[in-house]
Amino acid sequence: MKLLRNPVVPPGSTIGMLGGGQLGRMFAIAARQCGYGVQIFGDPQDSPAGQVSDRSWPWSFTDYDALRQFAQHVDVVTYEQENIPVATVETLLQYVPVFPGPELLRASQHRLLEKTSLRRIGIPTADFAKVTSAAELRQSIDDFGGDAILKTVTLGYDGKGQARVRSESACDAIWKSFNVSEAILEKVVDFAHELSIVASRFADGTCNFFAPVLNHHENHILDVSISPSPLISERQTSEAQQIARAILEHFNVIGVLCVEFFATHDGQLLVNEIAPRPHNSGHLTINACRSSQFEQQLRAVCGLATGDVSMQTPAVMLNLLGDHLQNQSASGWQKVFAHQNIHVHLYGKSEIRSGRKLGHLTVIGEDVVAAERLGRELRAGLTGAM
């Protein structure tokens, strides 16, 4: 196993973050709490991360002159999303350490490469096929029993860039609507539930795993995450850790990643997606663990020791979308803040629109069923739906 000897980057240093979204924001808050400066590349100063950082570089990820200048102002670089050109990371690596490196980024941003890479190291996924024409789509949908999901190989998230295909007769129209040269067709998995695990790896090879999280989605967008959950068995927890470790070691990751799974009715875990960064389902670690997923990312990329990732309290995370906040009321927020076991996280986004992630609530408490019920009631109350 190859290990990287990244030098220690002590407090007082400056960390570069590629991307200025909410994941970058929560990372920047964790970094500043530990005494680091943060500079953002790729988004303006009023971006979620830019608002809590020292400087924003609002240039394109393909502006290599700006990237070289950026590298001169930071001591180490990490990223908050996978839609960053691999060439951007490779350019920065000529001047400054970047974690995780380009290989995990390359695989995670291309669904075919991701699934092929996982299968190659023995990790189970849903059956899939490469599709480059309507004729191939018709053949593959027949092979998959007449029901599958066609997805773009890049840039799809939260249900974007995908379509359910239920018959050969629909293939021509669906393929034309995609307007791409290649796509991936995935067999529909009859799953019992969905779960994810956030893991971190350090330069000495140490791997740490947060407790797995049960996930509920609405309209292909993560809605609620719960940990711990009685639906996730000890065997599934152990298997999820083994799979996450295999991915971390295969791609020689220094940093944090999330692995999303389908759990079948017979208990088998199938990897759905991997993310080379902290993840929406790991947000509850901010309030439930001594060291959050963002502090773990900080510790790993700065060459520091791991933090304590054990859960100190059960927790439920509920996303706040534009749908929840379009008609928000002061009385609704008053009810939220009246509960001392509810933590509010808003991302500083000025535009409220349907489906957009604007923040989240984390409810802590020993009874996750009661916590979820309370969180849902109070979230509904923000829109006057109670």
Q: What is the DSSP string of 303-335?
A: TPPP---SBSS-EEEEEEEHHHHTT--HHHHHH
Q: Which of 4-8, 107-111, 348-352 has the lowest mean pLDDT?
A: 4-8
Cα(360)–Cα(281) distance, integer angstroms? 11
What is the mean predicted confidence (pLDDT) over 355-370?
97
The answer to whether the beta carbons of residues 303 and 7 sit under 8 Å apart is yes
> How remote is the C-alpha of 169 from its chain's centroid?
35
Q: Which CATH number fits domain 191-382: 1.10.540.10, 3.40.50.300, 3.30.470.20, 3.60.10.10?
A: 3.30.470.20
Q: What is the mean pLDDT of the chain?
A: 94
**Domain 127-187 CATH class label:** alpha beta
Task: Classify domain 14-98 at the CATH topology level.
Answer: Rossmann fold (3.40.50)
Residue 293 has pLDDT above 50, yes or no: yes
Position 158 confidence tier, pLDDT thresholds 50, 70, 90 = low
Whether the per-residue pLDDT at 227 is higher than 50: the answer is yes
Is the pLDDT assigned to residue 160 strictly greater than 80? no
Please determine whether the domains at 14-98 and 127-187 fall in the same fold group of CATH: no
For residue 250, the Cα-to-chain-centroid distance in whole angstroms is 19
- Which band of pLDDT confidence, cut at 50, 70 and 90, is reported for residue 95? very high
pLDDT at 46: 97
pLDDT for the residue numbered 244? 98
Q: pLDDT value at position 107?
A: 93
Render pLDDT for 211-224 as a digit per residue (tens, 0 to 9): 999 999 998 899 99
Where does the chain show beta strands of DSSP type E? Answer: 14-18, 37-41, 55-57, 76-79, 128-131, 148-152, 162-165, 183-187, 191-201, 207-209, 213-218, 221-227, 255-264, 269-275, 315-321, 342-346, 357-364
Across the range 149-153, mean pLDDT stands at 92
Enter the tokens of residue 191: 């799953």
228 three-state secondary structure:
coil
What per-residue confidence (pLDDT) applies to 156? 63
Q: Where are the domains of the chain?
A: 14-98, 127-187, 191-382
CA distances from 110 to 68, 127, 141, 269, 321 (A): 26, 16, 21, 21, 27
Confidence of residue 167 (pLDDT cuts 50, 70, 90): confident
The pLDDT-based confidence of 327 (bands split at 50, 70, 90) is confident
Residue 294's nearest CA partner among 260, 356, 332, 345 is 345
pLDDT of residue 386: 45
Produce one character per residue of 110-144: b if its CB has 16 or more CB atoms within 10 Å, e if not: bbbebbebbeeeebebbbbbebeebebbbbbbeeb
DSSP 368: H
Here the tokens at position 320 are: 């706040």
Positive or negative torsion for Cα 29, 31, 32, 33: positive
Mean pLDDT over residues 262-291, rounded? 97
Give residue 4's pLDDT. Answer: 54
Task: Copy the structure tokens of residue 192.
Answer: 């019992």
Query: What is the arithmetic mean of pLDDT over 177-197?
Result: 94
Q: What's the rounded Cα separation, in Å, for the pair 170 and 342?
A: 46
Please determine, for residue 159, whether its predicted confidence score (pLDDT) is greater than 80: no
CB 37 within 8 A of CB 15: yes
CA 54 to chain centre: 24
> Is the per-residue pLDDT at 1 higher than 50?
no
DSSP three-state, residue 266: coil
Comparing 349 with 169, the larger pLDDT belongs to 349
Looking at per-residue pLDDT, the higher value among 164 and 314 belongs to 314
Is residue 312 pLDDT above 60, yes or no?
yes
